[in-house]
Amino acid sequence: MTSSASAVRAERERVLSFQGGCNFRDIGGYRTQQGSHTRWGKVFRTGVLTYFTPDDHAPLTNLNVRAICDLRRAEEREREPTRWPHANINALSWDDGIVTPTIRGLAADRPKNAAGMFDAMIALYRALPEWMGPRIGGMFSAIANGDVPLIVHCAAGKDRTGIAVALLLRSLGVPEETAIQDYLLTNTSGNFEEFIRSRHEAQLGVADTHSPLLSMPEDMRRVLFSADAAFLHAAFEQIGDVEAYLAKTAGVTPAMQDRIRTALLE
């Protein structure tokens, strides 16, 4: 497939629309620095998997998903459980550990305005890579073991998913600027306010019934709901060398990397 044809296909097929879906995308079609491309239909990134409708079930089943990597905390999984059309999948989740970085906690002592929320988001992205080590390692292990097609998701499919997918793309040889462009697609494919307004119980990991998201001042919501390149840059700065991070923090071996490249590159 030529680069222009690939770009057209990416524009047409990148975002998958489901009635109950949230920021659901395919990460296929990205060109690596070595000249190959990520395979279509192998890794999907998305937000919460709770609100699918019966009309979504057939197209979801047609994705032939074998594993779902749920990056959320235990309380989020309990409040908004995954509802997949069938149970024949490998459902992966992880313990939260003793100290869990959350935007609620990091924003608590900062000014209640857009600048304070921006600073809290930067702090979150700096804290997440270390905490996510076991989750990143589990996702890489699932792919290396042949559990593809695979879904990786969190609540909004933006922050934790954004870091996980960016690391996966970088490990495959996709340039950093391309990984950031994929991350920024959230700003056009993830209309979180509309999603929440149409599903009053939706919490997306950062609210509860006592403190609903839409009660937050608009300028703070705008920052919270956005994908900003500065956020992902903060995570990359904290990660440093991607290969070293994957080996030391996530436990990803060179043999795993080879199997992942075979599975996800064409």
Domain locations along the chain: 3-264
- Asked if CATH classification 3.40.109.10 holds for the domain at 3-264, the reply, yes or no, is no
Q: What is the mean pLDDT of the chain?
A: 90
Fill in the DSSP letter of residue 30: P
Whether residue 196 has pLDDT greater than 90: no
Identify the pLDDT of residue 207. 45
Q: Out of 153-162, 216-225, 238-247, which region has the weakest mean confidence (pLDDT)?
A: 216-225
Instruction: Name the E strands within the chain.
Output: 25-26, 43-46, 67-70, 90-92, 150-153
What does the pLDDT average to over 14-23? Answer: 92
Q: Which of 5-19, 34-48, 194-208 has the lowest mean pLDDT?
A: 194-208
Amino acid found at 101: P
Percent of the chain past pLDDT 90, that is, above it, reads 76
* pLDDT mean over 27-37: 96
Q: What tokens appear for 56 in the block? A: 């979504």
pLDDT at 201 over 60: no
Residue 210: its pLDDT value, please?
47
Global model pTM greater than 0.95? no
Q: Which residue matches tokens 């919490």? A: 203
Q: Write down the H helix ranges in 172-217.
A: 176-184, 186-189, 192-198
- Model pLDDT, residue 218: 86
Cis before residue 54, ω within 30 degrees of 0?
no
The predicted model gives 251-256 an average pLDDT of 97
| pLDDT confidence of residue 226 | 92
pLDDT at 203 over 80: no
